[in-house]
């Protein structure tokens, strides 16, 4: 029997859970002479980084930083980067910072997490671009590399701290039509972006191509989740409730489980106030993929929103 | 254990005080402390002959406070490896000489060779320092090998000579020959800088960030460019975080960079702060 609390404003909260899994995470702080250039670097470094299904990392902007919040006193942006292992993260970070931040005018790049034993080297790899003219400075136990470039020098911290983060949290919003479902999803994303410690790595935080593991084609690691494709209703067993014609997914990666849960709760709460939604659900793999199960119906009690 | 020593002024002769370090005195009772031997111009004296000895606060550990006008007491805190040493009043030569760790906070002027040959820890001088601050001992190829020296007042000649690693920051004026023969490391100055700074610089950084530029650049250095560097912000923010008194007029972001000493390979840099 359905509880009233699980059907709010005519929107059903499906009795299911999001299945999240551990990934290695780092926080980048990019600064620049102006907020606009820091934002440019952040946008470029987080390009082609939606899903590790086919990208080397999942990357998203966490928040803009005022000058007084950054290590060098310039405006900046913090980003979170997720990969399956420390080795993969180190490679992805080196490539992305090297190609997208070092190349961007006036920027510098620092770790937003304390280094320690589980650090990966970024500046320590990129320094070789200096071709012998690089120099390093040690400040308060942290090493910074200075690589000469055409507008002066690129400053990059030697080692970036990592943590075991939580990736793959998700919300699926199902609505009456494309416009209202997208508007509701945008509202949820806007609210979730205010939660620290999480990023939403898909385009503007939203994915339309919900996937399942595997495919009938051997070469593919993932393929469309036909149960959520409204155009296949009637042809396959569908997960889309009656009255819904469209779905969007918000994927959440965070530095810890609490951050992912909190963001999910905030997104859920924001979506429940929107017109046009029929149901809100989450994707999972029956509990076989990840150890973190975020039950939607439990969240609103645990993270009450205003 | 917290130990407080108050100088009696019982002698005008030079006193060797390398045993005056918190890590050596930790755990000693008043009796043992009082019997400690110090050298006074070749003669033995006990700590109690020269200082009033107090032990305070049984819970605190590794803290030593020394008070009085001790301009003839040498080597206080020399070789210190840990703990916290506070001094009040004028201190003689070689404060914190060769220290490897811990913190020294000196309120008052200190004599020459403070922080010389240190390799770790923090030496904070709330006053002025004499000559050869953080410099190499004569005959040593490399001087300071790590740690931080912060001076809120002025410093004499020969600051950081042959320094190999570490940070020296001086808020006031710095005498001639600063950073001579520096192998690596960083010297940041925020007041007038004397002549011939950086002569023989191999690597490392000497930054003159005061409101007025030095009157001349040492021969052997060539102007590279004028630019903004994030590095300056990192240094400034670090100094602010550790409560170093940076003059507001010195927070420039734009620097003129000179590479040199070209006679030593040209891998070092002089950064001259300009109003941003």
pLDDT in tens, A235-265: 999 999 999 999 999 999 999 999 999 999 9
Give exposure, A3-31, as e/b (b: 16+ Cβ within 10 Å): eeeeebeebbbbebbbbbebbbbbbbbbb
Across A34-38, A289-293, B114-118, least confident range: A289-293
Supply the pLDDT for residue A64: 98
Interface residue A111 vs chain B (CB under 8 A):
no
Pairing mode, strands A222-224 and A108-111: unpaired
CB contact under 8 A, B231 and A146: yes
CB contact under 8 A, A71 and B237: yes
- From the list A53, A252, A280, A67, the residue with the least C-alpha distance to A172 is A280
CB contact under 8 A, A140 and B238: yes
Tokens encoding A80: 């979170």
Supply the pLDDT for residue A134: 96
Residues of B in contact with A72 (CB under 8 A): 230-234, 237
Query: What are the pLDDT digits (tens) for A16-35?
Result: 999 999 999 999 999 999 99
Interface residue B229 vs chain A (CB under 8 A):
yes
DSSP string, A22-70: EEEEEEEEEE-SSHHHHHHHHHHHTTT-S-TTTSS-EEEEEEEE-GGGS
Residues of B in contact with A155 (CB under 8 A): 229-231, 234
CB contact under 8 A, A139 and B228: no
Give me the phi and psi of B148, to 5 degrees please. Answer: -135, 135
CA–CA distance, B5 with B87 (Å, rounded to integer):
9
Chain position carrying tokens 């400034």: B236
Supply the pLDDT for residue B62: 87
**Beta-carbon contacts of residue A197 (< 8 Å; ≥ 6 apart):** A62, A80, A254, A255, A256, A259
Supply the pLDDT for residue A1: 41
Interface residue B231 vs chain A (CB under 8 A):
yes
d(CA A94, nearest CA chain B) in Å:
20
- From the list A185, A297, A205, the residue with the least C-alpha distance to A253 is A205
The number of residues in chain B equals 276
Residues of A in contact with B238 (CB under 8 A): 139-140
Interface residue B167 vs chain A (CB under 8 A):
yes
- Across the range B90-100, mean pLDDT stands at 98
d(CA B231, nearest CA chain A) in Å:
7
The four Cα atoms A30, A35, A36, A41 give a dihedral, to 10 degrees, of: 0
Report the residue of A66, A72, A143 to disrupt the B interface, i.e. the one with the largest count of B CBs within 10 Å: A72
Interface residue B244 vs chain A (CB under 8 A):
no
Tokens encoding B218: 């040492």
Pairing mode, strands A211-213 and B2-7: unpaired
Supply the pLDDT for residue B56: 83
Tokens encoding B190: 């925020």
Interface residue B101 vs chain A (CB under 8 A):
no
| B187 has pLDDT over 90 | yes
Supply the pLDDT for residue B59: 57
- Across the range A97-124, mean pLDDT stands at 96
Interface residue A5 vs chain B (CB under 8 A):
no
Given A73, A151, A153, which is nearest B233 (Cβ)? A73
The four Cα atoms A264, A268, A270, A276 give a dihedral, to 10 degrees, of: 140
- From the list A129, A196, A132, the residue with the least C-alpha distance to A156 is A129
CA–CA distance, A30 with A45 (Å, rounded to integer):
10
Give exposure, A225-251, as e/b (b: 16+ Cβ within 10 Å): bbebbeeebeeeebbbeeebbbbbbbb
Query: Where does the pLDDT of residue A291 fall: very low under 50, low under 70, confident under 90, or very high at 90 and above?
Result: very high
CA–CA distance, B205 with B271 (Å, rounded to integer):
7
- Across the range A208-222, mean pLDDT stands at 93
Across A88-102, A160-174, A291-305, B124-138, least confident range: A291-305
Report the share of chain A in percent with pLDDT over 70: 98
Query: Where does the pLDDT of residue B249 fall: very low under 50, low under 70, confident under 90, or very high at 90 and above?
Result: confident
- From the list A138, A175, A178, the residue with the least C-alpha distance to A158 is A138
CA–CA distance, B103 with B124 (Å, rounded to integer):
8
Supply the pLDDT for residue B250: 74
In this structure, the number of other CB atoms found within 10 A of the CB of residue A54 comes to 10
Supply the pLDDT for residue A2: 46
> Are residues A168 and A18 in contact, defined by beta-carbon separation less than 8 angstroms?
yes
DSSP string, B180-191: TT--S-EEEE-S
Angle value at C-alpha A139, between A138 and A143, nearest 5 degrees: 40
| B1 has pLDDT over 90 | no
CA–CA distance, B98 with B269 (Å, rounded to integer):
26
The four Cα atoms A32, A143, B180, B114 give a dihedral, to 10 degrees, of: 120
Interface residue A131 vs chain B (CB under 8 A):
no
- Across the range A129-138, mean pLDDT stands at 96
CB contact under 8 A, B167 and A139: yes
CA–CA distance, A164 with A67 (Å, rounded to integer):
28
> Which helix (DSSP H) or strand (DSSP E) does residue B33 occupy?
helix B30-35
The residue of chain A with its CA nearest to that of B242 is A140
Residues of A in contact with B241 (CB under 8 A): 140
| B175 has pLDDT over 90 | yes
> Which helix (DSSP H) or strand (DSSP E) does residue B107 occupy?
strand B103-107
pTM above 0.90, yes or no: yes
Measured in whole angstroms, the distance separating CA A167 from the mean position of its chain's CA atoms is 8
Interface residue A140 vs chain B (CB under 8 A):
yes
| A37 has pLDDT over 60 | yes
Higher pLDDT, B276 or B216: B216
Supply the pLDDT for residue B58: 59
Report the share of chain B in percent with pLDDT over 70: 97
Interface residue B258 vs chain A (CB under 8 A):
no
Collapsing DSSP states into helix, strand and coil, what is residue B240?
Answer: helix
Q: What is the DSSP letter of A256?
A: S
Query: Where does the pLDDT of residue B276 fall: very low under 50, low under 70, confident under 90, or very high at 90 and above?
Result: low
Report the share of chain B in percent with pLDDT over 90: 86
Supply the pLDDT for residue A305: 72
ipTM higher than the 0.90 cut: yes
Q: Could you tell me if residue A290 is left (phi over 0), alpha (psi between -120 and 50 degrees) or otherwise beta?
A: beta
Report the residue of B225, B232, B234, B235 to disrupt the A interface, i.e. the one with the largest count of A CBs within 10 Å: B234
């Amino acid at each position: 029997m359905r509880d009233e609390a699980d059907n709010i404003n005519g929107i059903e909260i499906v009795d299911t859970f999001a299945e999240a899994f551990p990934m290695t995470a780092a926080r980048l702080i990019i600064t620049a002479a102006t907020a606009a250039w820091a934002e440019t670097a952040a946008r470029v470094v987080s390009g082609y980084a939606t899903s590790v299904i086919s990208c080397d990392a999942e990357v998203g902007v966490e928040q803009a930083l005022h000058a007084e919040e950054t290590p060098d006193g310039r405006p900046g942006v913090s980003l979170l980067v997720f990969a399956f292992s420390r080795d993969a993260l180190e490679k992805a970070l080196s490539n992305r910072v090297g190609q997208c931040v070092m190349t961007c005018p006036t920027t510098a790049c620092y770790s937003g997490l304390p280094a320690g034993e589980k650090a990966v080297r970024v500046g320590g790899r990129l320094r070789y671009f200096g071709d012998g003219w690089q120099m390093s400075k040690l400040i308060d136990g942290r090493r910074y590399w200075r690589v000469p470039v055409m507008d002066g020098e690129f400053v990059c911290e030697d080692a970036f701290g990592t943590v075991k983060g939580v990736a793959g949290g998700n919300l699926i919003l199902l609505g009456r039509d494309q416009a209202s479902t997208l508007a509701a999803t945008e509202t949820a994303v806007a609210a979730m972006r205010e939660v620290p410690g999480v990023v939403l790595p898909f385009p503007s935080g939203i994915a339309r191509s919900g996937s399942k593991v595997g495919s009938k084609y051997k070469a593919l690691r993932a393929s469309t989740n036909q149960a959520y494709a409204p155009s296949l209703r009637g042809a396959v067993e569908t997960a889309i409730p009656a009255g819904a014609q469209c779905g969007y997914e918000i994927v959440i990666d965070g530095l810890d489980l609490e951050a992912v849960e909190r963001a999910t709760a905030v997104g859920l709460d924001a979506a429940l106030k929107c017109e046009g939604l029929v149901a809100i659900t989450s994707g999972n793999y029956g509990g076989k993929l990840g150890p973190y199960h975020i039950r939607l119906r439990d969240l609103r009690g645990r993270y009450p929103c205003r | 254990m917290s130990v407080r020593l108050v100088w009696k002024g019982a002698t005008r002769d030079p006193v060797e005080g390398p045993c005056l370090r918190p890590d050596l005195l930790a755990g000693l009772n008043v009796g043992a402390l009082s019997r400690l031997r110090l050298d006074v111009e070749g003669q033995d004296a006990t700590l109690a002959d020269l200082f009033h000895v107090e032990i305070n606060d049984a819970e605190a550990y590794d803290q030593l406070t020394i008070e009085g006008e001790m301009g003839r007491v040498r080597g206080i805190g020399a070789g210190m490896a840990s703990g916290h040493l506070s001094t009040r009043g004028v201190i003689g030569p070689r404060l914190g000489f060769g220290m490897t760790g811990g913190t020294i906070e000196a309120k008052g002027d200190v004599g020459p060779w403070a922080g010389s040959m240190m390799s770790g820890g923090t030496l904070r001088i709330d006053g002025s320092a004499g000559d050869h601050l953080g410099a190499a001992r004569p005959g040593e190829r490399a001087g300071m090998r790590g740690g931080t020296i912060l001076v809120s007042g002025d410093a004499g000649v020969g600051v950081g000579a042959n320094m190999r690693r570490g940070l020296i920051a001086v808020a006031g004026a710095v005498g001639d020959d600063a950073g001579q023969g520096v192998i690596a490391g960083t010297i940041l100055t925020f007041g007038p800088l004397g002549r011939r700074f950086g002569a023989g610089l191999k690597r490392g950084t000497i930054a003159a960030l005061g409101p007025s530029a030095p009157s001349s650049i040492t021969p052997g250095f060539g102007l590279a460019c004028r630019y903004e560097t994030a590095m300056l912000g990192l240094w400034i923010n670090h100094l602010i975080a550790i409560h170093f008194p940076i003059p507001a007029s010195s927070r420039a972001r734009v620097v003129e960079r000179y590479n040199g000493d070209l006679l030593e390979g040209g891998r070092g840099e002089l950064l001259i702060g300009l109003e941003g």
